[in-house]
Structure 1
Amino acid sequence: MSTFQRQVTPLDRRTTEPLPNGGSIEYEEFPVTIDVTGCLLYSLFQNHWQEVELGHMVDGSVLELEFTQAPKICRLYDGYLTVVAEGWHMHLCLEENLGGPLCTTPVELRQKRLVSQAALYRRLNAQGQARSWGIQFWNGAGEKMMNLFLPNPFIGEQEDLLPENKPNLEKLGLYEQLRQIYVLGEQDIPFAENPLKQPYVSVCRSSRCNPSQNWQPTYEALKGAIADSDLNVEVINSGCLEVCKMGPVVFYSGDRTWYTRVTPDIARDIVQEHILEGHKLKKHLYPKEAG
């Protein structure tokens, strides 16, 4: 396991994309390791949610989504960052999506889905003046994926255009801060560890494939055992964990392990024997070959 580094090593890659209207987009790339992208996105969604929007922008179509409060969920599962806001949610592939416990995703598709390039950008008009700022992601096929819109000094609080000669330049503070940290490496990442790598234990509550199983006692047993052990591990419940008809199903993110038919007693054993002592419970592992 690699050691978390708070200082980003700059890529020193700057490119310009000409636009048909005579303008251009200037890109400054930054590394796409999980410790960089994870910290960047967690910081934006958890600490700067009031300032950012996300969406897609291609010729003829623009989608912009805003947050009305901090996301309810901001978590990594099987390579995908999932962010759940009020009324909508998003997924972005930051690590290889292996395809659940059976690793069903073909290697070529894993590489295509994965964020392979990322950059801060400025959109310039035909006179070379910056008019919008943001972050762009590309997948392994070189296709533009999701982008984030950063505060624009030419737009007021009511989404109105400010007078041309009276921009609110304080709004560029977030862009400049991100540039200092993630592009230039002149400031440290504002976390001691990658927050998206904080381990968690999840209990599947899906009713689609598990209607006859009662997951709540397992969930409560895990919460109690984690609390008693004083471990820094979050206990959550979630939708489908890609193991069907063998519930209650439990997933431990610390080493990507799935368990099936987890009773409250087995839940307590998972905490004691696996998470604390490092010995997996082979009888309940899924798939069995993982033991």
Structure 2
Amino acid sequence: MIEFNPCVIPLNQKTTEATGNGWTIEYEYFDCRCDVLACLTYTLFQQNWHQIGLGHLEQGSVLELEFHEAPKKCVLYDGYLTVITQGWHFHLCIEETIGGPNSETPLEVRQQRLINKGAFYRRINSEGEPHSWGIQFWNGAGEKVMTIFLPNPYVEDENLLPDGKANFSKLELYKQLREIYVLGTKEIPFTKNPFKCSYIAVCTSGRCYPSRKWQPTFDALSAAVEKAGLDIEVRTTGCLQVCKLGPVAFYSDDKTWYSRVKPEVAKKIVNEHLVEGKKVTEYIYPPV
């Protein structure tokens, strides 16, 4: 296992892109290893959701989404960071995705989907003055996949402020993150990847008829984990890519999928696998 490193090594790479009418975008690139992306995205979506927006920005098309409350869920599964709000959700591939228990994703597609380039940006007008700030991500195919909109000192409640009234204190988040991820003058404020906590998840997807009866399995896992005194989160999740063999459970530490997990099987998994380290092989998927 690679040890967590709180120091980001600066890439010292900067480019400028003309956008027309004398405006440019200045990009400052940063390291996009999974641990780095995990810490940055956790800081954005879990700790600063109330300050940011996100979307997709291209010539002729702009999508902007805002958080009106903290995300309901923010988890990493099979390489994808999933953030769920009350009205919408998104997936962002920040670690190699293998395609579930059967490793269905071809190697070239894994590399295409993975975020491999990121940059802090400033949009600069023809007078050389920055007027918006954010973060841009690209996938392995060089395609722009998500834009993070950071607080803008010239905007208040979606309205442009009068000349001379800009609130430059709103740049504090941009400055703090840039020092960590672009300049490397400050360490990442985490001691481990914040999305790599130990958990066991139960599928609640309607794709699999038996998984509709997930609650007894969830309750049995919760009770067994609590009784064993384990520091492991028991959570629910969407489709775990093992359809029609539910209830299905997934253990994050060693990426083990279990099928047909009825309550009595759930207790066995906790007592034998999570406590003793011995997998319950007759319920593993795919079969061993």
TM-score by length of 1: 0.95
User: For residues 129-165 of structure 1, what are the alpha-carbon distances to aligned partners after superposition, in whole Å with 9 as ceiling and x for unaligned?
Assistant: 1010000000001011111000000112x22111232
Deviates more, 1:247-256 or 1:131-140: 247-256
Paired position in structure 2 for 1:37: 37
- CA distance in structure 1 between the partners assigned to 2:230 and 2:220 by the alignment: 14
CA distances 1:238-283 after superposition (whole Å, capped 9, x unpaired): 2211101111110111111100111222212222222222221111
| Residue pairs, 1:112-127, within 5 angstroms | 112-127=112-127
> Greater shift after overlay, 224-233 or 44-53?
224-233
In 1: Cα distance, 2:132 partner to 2:174 partner: 11
3-state SS in 2 of match to 1:172: helix
Indicate the residue corresponding to 2:25 in structure 1.
25
Distance 1:14 1:275 in 2: 47
The amino acid of 1:175's aligned partner reads Y
Q: How many residues align?
A: 288
Q: By how many angstroms is 1:166 displaced?
A: 2.3
Shift of 1:15: 1.4
CA deviations 1:201-258 (Å, max 9, x no partner) are 1111222222476221111111111112222221111221110111111011111110
Is the Cα–Cα contact under 8 Å of residues 120 and 133 in structure 2 kept in the other structure? yes
CA distance in 2, matches of 1:215, 1:184: 47
Distance in structure 2 (CA, Å) of the matches to 1:105 and 1:241: 15
Partner of 2:106: 106
Give the Cα separation in 1 of the matches to 2:118 and 2:212: 43
Q: Which residue of 2 aligns with 1:176?
A: 175
Structure 2 Cα separation of the partners of residues 250 and 50 of structure 1: 33
Secondary structure, aligned partner of 1:262: coil
Question: Matches of 1:12 and 1:255 in 2, distance apart?
Answer: 36
In structure 2, how many angstroms separate the alpha carbons of the residues matched to 1:76 and 1:102? 18
CA, structure 1 residues 288+211, in 2 after alignment: closer, same or farther (shift >3 Å)?
closer
Q: Extract unaligned runs of 5+ from structure 2.
A: none
Residues 173-195 of structure 1 show CA distances to partners (whole Å, capped at 9, x for unaligned) of 00000001111111121222211
Residue 149 of structure 1 aligns with an amino acid whose one-letter code is F
Partner of 1:261: 260
- What RMSD, in angstroms, separates the aligned Cα atoms of the two structures? 1.3
Structure 1 partner of 2:7: 7
Deviation at 1:20, TM superposition (A): 2.2
Q: Which residue of 2 aligns with 1:243?
A: 242
SS at match of 2:140: coil
Matched residue type, 2:55: G
Deviations 1:21-80 (Å, cap 9, x if unpaired)?
Answer: 221111111111111111111111111111000000011111110001110010011111
Matches within 5 A, 1:50-65: 50-65=50-65
- Measured at CA, do residues 228 and 211 of structure 1 come closer, stay the same or move farther in structure 2, by a change above 3 Å? closer
Following the alignment from structure 1 to structure 2, what is the Cα–Cα distance between the partners of residues 211 and 270? 18
Match of residue 278 from structure 1: 277
Identical positions, percent: 56
Deviates more, 1:263-272 or 1:146-155: 263-272
Tell me the distance in 2 between the aligned counterparts of 1:262 and 1:133.
Answer: 48
Shift in Å at residue 117 of structure 1? 0.2
TM-score (norm 2): 0.96
Q: Is the 8 A contact 2:84 2:90 kept in 1?
A: yes
